[in-house]
Structure 1
Amino acid sequence: MTSTNSFQLLTLADFPPLKPFFHSLKNPLAIYSLPSLIAWNSEANPTYYALEDDLLLLRMKEISLQDSNPGCLLLPLCPGREIPPPELADLARRYSLPTFCFVPESYVRHFGCSSLSALFSLTEQPDYSDYIYRRRDLIELKGNRYRSKRNHISKFRKLYVETGRTTIEPLCTANIPETLLFLKRWCAENNRCDPEENLNLALESQACRILLEHLEFLEGQGIAVRIDGEVFAFGIATTLNSSMKVLNVEKADSHIPGLYQFLDQECARRLFEGVEYINKESDMGIPGLASSKKSYDPVKRIRSYQVTLLDKKAI
């Protein structure tokens, strides 16, 4: 039996040595983006890792779990192969961690429900199913389903773009300090960064700050939208696999009509060249966020599962 003490806290410095494990990633859930894992890591939501032979093991403490609970494992990462259910069961026993969380439905389909159910119980995690969109859809916004989006963008363009008041620029060392100031202002105006009010949203804001401060190091890309010379919106994307990137961050001043819709279209156009799909992550069970993501008519949702070892006596 291997102790959970074998795990060490994931830090920013771990990005270069762990990056090879995320090459050719088959897990399409956004949580398997290494920059996201690092950015979301915090005292309230810690992520740990361990290396075993050719495997990278990631252990996460879910926010909803009690302090005494050791948390759950993510699917192990191994370049060139997927880990079959019997090997998962062996890892669960050896590390005394019976549960794997954020198991994408593609894994369940690949190995089959019957193969998994022989060793694990399966429970869907609906709050953590990702929203997937075609890049082309979010750029072109064709059809009745996007009529309101086009109307909002048209109004914004007439007021701010056609009058020369708006500029769009890549996020870089020169403008990140101003973007951080906008994020601070956004937090204060929306009351969405206080952990006592909503821990998930507070952690999201913290992740935004980390991605901004270390954007180049974490190999992210971003844009900032200026109105009258001041940053009023920004977006950040990171690579997940060869056909999909993650839109990790979209923040805009909600008092400016059409700005959010304009930002979303520009992010799709400028940050996702070369990939067909945009992953906008999950809604974390937040009704307003769910409504916003559904309004863009995703082409699919990627379901997330929690699988727990049936025979816990062996642990």
Structure 2
Amino acid sequence: MMSSKSFKLLSLADFPRLKPFFESLRFPLAIYSLPSLIAWNSEANPTYYLLEEDLLLLKMGGMLLREPERDCLLLPLSPARDVTPPELEDIARRHCIPTLCFVPENYVDHFGASTVFDRFSLTEQPDYSDYVYRTTDLVELRGNRYRSKRNHISKFRKMYVETGRAAVEALSAANIPDALIFLERWCAENNRCHPEENPNLALESQASRILLEYLEFLEAQGIAVRIDGEILAFGIATTLTGSMKILNVEKADAHVRGLYQFLDQECARHLFGGVEFINKESDMGVPGLASSKKSYDPVKLIRSYEMSLRNRAGI
């Protein structure tokens, strides 16, 4: 039976009201970050929500699903409890949405494959598996696996930091306008912010802009690298779980050798204190992003799945 309540389009103003549902989050996929959901929300990639008793239901559609006409549910969130597979089946049936997407592998492990498979078929979403790193690895960059990263950083430091040309500063209301100017230039130079060229990267650039403009409101943190008085790189992080934060945004001028590697280490050092893991999100199936994320030697991938009702009678 269809629920009489309607989903509402997620908006920036919903952040304070919905924040409690994310404070004890147990799902380590970056898409379950409330700031990310808000920042990525758009006409091309809408997210909707509905409050049902002690649950927050989230519904997505659009470009990330690569089937714009199809909706799917995310796992429901509750501040106090997990939602069982039988409950998921009931929710899917009541709202006539037979598929849940972005289901992290730890949900399946927690309830057991047999319990899940009784009601749902499972399909991996390989383009949306998240890359996870140990914070100390990216701060210290020890061993042969990071030799090239250390070399790039050393050359950057000698040319820019030790000569006083470069400095790291926290993102704040005072310098966010300069970071936005750099983002616009980065978009123009890389031709990566136009929906007709690359829809996913255009959405990612939109999300970067929103996270910059509403950094404090969304309780995000960031740093910027200024070279010769101009911001040429910045990174933004948000909290996901008690042991993990997300590096949501990382932009650097590709013409400055070693800047990206320097930014990455400084983000790990300044934005991830107190958490064991850094989640750098998925590669969205973009080969260049996949290569870059793999080069930092992730300690694990958080796999993402679709769960579809086996019995769709009545939907």
Shorter-normalised TM-score: what interval?
Answer: over 0.9
Structure 1 residues not aligned, in runs of 5+:
none
Q: Specify the alignment match of 1:129 in structure 2.
A: 129
The answer as to 2:246 corresponding to 1:274 is: no
C-alpha RMSD over aligned residues:
1.0
Moved over 3 A (4+): 64-68
Structure 1 contact 4–95 (Cα < 8 Å) conserved: no
Letter in 2 for 1:113: A
Q: For 1:114, what is the secondary structure of its paired residue?
A: helix
SS at structure 2 position matched to 1:313: coil
Structure 2: distance between partners of 1:30 and 1:68? 24
User: In structure 2, what is the equivalent of residue 77 of structure 1?
Assistant: 77
Aligned positions of 1:61-72 closer than 5 A? 61-63=61-63, 64-69=65-70, 71-72=71-72
Report how far residue 68 of structure 1 moved.
3.5
Matched-pair contact (CA < 8 Å) for 2:61–2:69 = no
Query: Displacement, 1:65?
Result: 4.5
Correspondences of 1:228-267 after superposition (within 5 Å): 228-267=228-267
1:154 Cα deviation (Å)?
Answer: 0.6
Distance of 2:174 and 2:143 partners within structure 1: 39
**Gaps (5+ residues) in structure 2?**
none
2:105–2:303 contact (8 Å) kept in structure 1: yes
Q: Superposition pairs for residues 54-133 of structure 1, below 5 Å? A: 54-63=54-63, 64-69=65-70, 71-133=71-133
Cα 1:251–1:115 shift into 2, 3 Å: same
Report what 1:49 is aligned to.
Answer: 49
Cα 1:66–1:101 shift into 2, 3 Å? closer
- Paired position in structure 2 for 1:211: 211
String of CA shifts for 1:177-197, please: whole Å, max 9, x gaps: 010000000000000001000
Give, as a single letter, the amino acid of the residue that structure 1 aligns with 2:181: L
1:132 Cα offset (Å) = 0.4
Contact residue 122 and residue 306 of structure 1 kept, 8 A: yes
Q: Distance in 1 between matches of 2:87 and 2:174?
A: 48
> Does the aligned pair in 2 maintain the 1:220–1:237 contact within 8 Å?
yes
Offset from partner CA, 1:123-156 (integer Å, 9 cap, x none): 0000000000000000100001000000000110
The DSSP-based 3-state class of the residue aligned with 1:247 is strand
Q: Which residue of 1 aligns with 2:144?
A: 144
CA contact (8 A) 2:55 2:77 kept: yes
The offset of 1:4, in angstroms, is 8.5
Partners of 1:4 and 1:96 within 8 A in 2: no
The amino acid across from 2:34 in the alignment is L
Say how many residue pairs are matched.
314
SS of 1:298's partner is coil
- 1:192–1:201 contact (8 Å) kept in structure 2: yes
Counterpart of 1:199 in structure 2 is 199
Q: Give the letter for the 1:85 counterpart.
A: P
Query: Aligned residue for 1:172?
Result: 172
